[in-house]
Amino acid sequence: MSAGFGRALGLALDLICPASCASCLAPGGLVCPNCLATLDVTPRRASPSPCPPGFPPTWSVADYAGVARDLLLAYKERSAIGLGRPLALRLATAVRSATGDHPGAVVLVPVPSSVAAVRERGDDVVAVLARMAARALRRDGRSAWALPALRQRRSVADSAGLPATDRLTNLDHALLVRPGAAARLAGRYVVLIDDLVTTGATLTEAARAMQAAGVSVAAAATVAMTRRRSS
């Protein structure tokens, strides 16, 4: 079964079958109001330990556990695309925290998924979240838009399960700014977007790639953050 077909099938099933909450399995929808309410919190600064040099100031909504983990996994791995909107609304709160009192336009730059992940999932799920979060900010009267300015330079192995040092090596110079994107970002308030921050290696590499293209990154926002256990 192709990923695109799997995703379409997931959407069709969402529409015709009574869904259950992706976290607590309560019937009635992809996520129940009680579980969703646990994500209506003030975003916090994510601080990986050790913190890689160049890691941008990053705000996250929740620890990667419980409801946040269940919803992200269902959204990313089980094609529960109806969860995109509630996740993007919470991501938008992290962007608000990341931008503070900045009154001007904000550009959300998603960290690109690997080609393999896009093929598997049928879409770049982080780019979709960034677009939806920008839309939520505009509904609030903020000037915000998403620009997928970064791309993978080369094939990057899936970093899940790699030790922190291997992740940094794996991601070293893995990202590039797309041709023409730097000019569109010049002088803008740029916020990097990812679903999850774990070691900080990915956001650090994204900030480095932007810097190399002459674009400074003001901050980053993610849905969740992992508290890493030392191995």
Give 23 or 113: the residue with its C-beta nearer to Zn ion: 23
Residue in 29, 30, 32, 109 binding Zn ion, rule: CB under 5 A: 32
Using CB under 5 A as the binding rule, whether residue 80 contacts Zn ion is answered as no
Around 205, how many Cα atoms within 13 Å sit in the side-chain half-sphere?
Answer: 24
Closest distance between Zn ion and the C-beta of residue 70, in Å?
A: 8
> What one-letter code names the amino acid at 174?
A
With CB under 5 A, what is the number of residues at the site for Zn ion?
A: 6
Around 224, how many Cα atoms within 13 Å sit in the side-chain half-sphere?
Answer: 20
Residue in 9, 12, 24, 41 binding Zn ion, rule: CB under 5 A: 24
Closest distance between Zn ion and the C-beta of residue 25, in Å?
A: 7
Q: How many angstroms separate the CA atoms of 194 and 200, rounded?
A: 11
Using CB under 5 A as the binding rule, whether residue 37 contacts Zn ion is answered as no
Pairing status of strand 58-63 against strand 44-45: antiparallel
Closest distance between Zn ion and the C-beta of residue 26, in Å?
A: 5
Using CB under 5 A as the binding rule, whether residue 35 contacts Zn ion is answered as yes
Give 26 or 183: the residue with its C-beta nearer to Zn ion: 26
Query: Which range of residues in 3-11, 34-42, 142-150, 169-177 is near Zn ion by CB under 5 A?
Result: 34-42
Give 26 or 65: the residue with its C-beta nearer to Zn ion: 26
Closest distance between Zn ion and the C-beta of residue 139, in Å?
A: 25
Closest distance between Zn ion and the C-beta of residue 46, in Å?
A: 25
Residues that bind Zn ion (CB under 5 A): 21, 23-24, 26, 32, 35
